[in-house]
Amino acid sequence: ASRNSAVVAASRTLTARLTARQLSGNPCRLAYLHHSGFSMSMHQVFVYGTLRPGERNHHFMATATHLGAYTTPGCFTLLDTGPYPAALDEGQTALVGDVFAVDADTFAALDRLEDYPVHYTRRELATDYGDAWIYLWIAARDPAWPAIEHGDWRRHVESAG
């Protein structure tokens, strides 16, 4: 039974990854991949806020490999919640960030930090470095949170400081 469930999980993950690649022709379409049940040893993650180099939560990326800077297509809204940004899966803002390769333990730590799947969900995003997970806000929004029109959390914090 254990072997069969592993095969089914692997099949679901492969199907989800193929779907993500098929959707990547439209840069604003993100794959909705949830709980595949299949754990890979390495994951790529696009970070746009406090996990970026020089930011206060970057220590979570201590064992990660920085693949490079990346700016998404203009498909999002970036909000300033106060202590951290929240990206929404809608809008016309390009997000400025970085892509990292992370191991399974770091990926699990990021899920805990982002309170996945309560406050954030994950979607797969096509990047210059291959498909990468992006955390997107799904919890209730405060109407007082201002939008960061230029999509760059670091620039926003530096200009406010």
Active site amino acids: 114
As a whole number of angstroms, the distance between CA 48 and CA 126 comes to 15
* 70 neighbors 22 (Cβ within 8 angstroms): no
Q: What is the DSSP letter of 59?
A: G
Both tokens of 25, joined, read 């022709």
As a whole number of angstroms, the distance between CA 91 and CA 35 comes to 26
Phi then psi dihedrals of residue 131, to 5 deg: -65, 140
Distance separating the N- and C-terminal Cα atoms of the chain: 57
